[in-house]
C-alpha cells in the first residue's frame, strides 16, 4: 500500500486498516512458525504497511491538535 493511497482513506478507515494489518501480521508469524511461508517477505511488507498507516494516523492527530490550539 502506497502513502498516496493511505492519504485518500478516512481516519476511521485507517484505524480499521491498522487492526486488519496487525491481525494479518499475527497470522503470518504463526503460520511461518508452524511451516515456512511461500513468500516470507510478506512479514516485513506487512510491518511496513502498519508503520505507514500509524504514521499517517499520528500526522492527522497532531494536525488536529495544532489547529485546535490556534
Q: Domain with 56 in it: what CATH number?
A: 1.10.287
Range of 36's domain? Answer: 3-69
Domain count, the chain: 1
Q: pLDDT digit string (tens) for 17-65?
A: 999 999 999 999 999 999 999 999 999 999 999 999 999 999 999 988 7
Residue 21 three-state SS: helix
- Global confidence as pTM: 0.87
Cell output for 44: 516485513
Q: What angle do CA 48, 4, 49 make, to 5 degrees?
A: 15
Cell output for 8: 485518500
Is residue 70 pLDDT above 90, yes or no?
A: no
Own/partner long-range contacts of 29-34 (Cβ < 8 Å, ≥24 apart): none
44 dihedral zone (left: phi>0; alpha: psi -120 to 50; beta): alpha
Instruction: Specify the pLDDT at position 61.
Output: 92
Amino acid at each position: 500500500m502506497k502513502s498516496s493511497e493511505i492519504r485518500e482513506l478516512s481516519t476511521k478507515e485507517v484505524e480499521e486498516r491498522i487492526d486488519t494489518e496487525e491481525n494479518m501480521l499475527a497470522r503470518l508469524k504463526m503460520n511461518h512458525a508452524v511451516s515456512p511461508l511461500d513468500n516470507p517477505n510478506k512479514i516485513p511488507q506487512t510491518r511496513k504497511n502498519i508503520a505507514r498507516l500509524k504514521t499517517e494516523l499520528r500526522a492527522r492527530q497532531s494536525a488536529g491538535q495544532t489547529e485546535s490550539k490556534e
